[in-house]
Amino acid sequence: MTMKLSDGERQAALDSLPAWQRVDGRDAIARDLRFADFNAAFGFMSRVALQAEKMDHHPEWTNVYNRVRIVLTTHDAGGLSTRDLELARFIDSLLPPA
């Protein structure tokens, strides 16, 4: 069973993922992105979607034209887990350094 991160683990994880912010009132992290156009945004989302299926771990996200907001949390654990960190690192690996 996936366990929520402890307070210390959460802080260390956030320190290691500078492009991600905590979400107010939730044990979750978010990253806001802007692409050149819808095609670029949707191409990125497709790559994330394939990885999410592989991991059986899925983002909460919204897309408006060239903007994508991604929120990661582990529903089964009721908060952030190592699965979110793994998916966040994969997402970061697709993007230029922040």
Q: Figure out which of the listed residues 22, 76, 94, 98 binds ligand H2B, where binding follows CB under 6 A.
A: 76
Residue 26: Cβ within 10 Å count: 13
Residues 23-62 that bind ligand H2B (CB under 6 A): 56-58
Q: For residues 19 and 49, which CB has a smaller minimum distance to ligand H2B in the complex?
A: 49
Q: For residues 40 and 71, which CB has a smaller minimum distance to ligand H2B in the complex?
A: 71
Q: Of 15, 17, 22, whose CA–CA distance to 89 is shortest?
A: 17
**Residue 72 phi, psi (nearest 5):** -115, 130
Nearest approach, Cβ of residue 17 and ligand H2B (Å): 16
Nearest approach, Cβ of residue 81 and ligand H2B (Å): 8
**Residue 16 phi, psi (nearest 5):** -90, -5
The helix (H) or strand (E) run that includes residue 62 is strand 60-64
Interface residues toward ligand H2B, by CB under 6 A: 56-58, 74-76
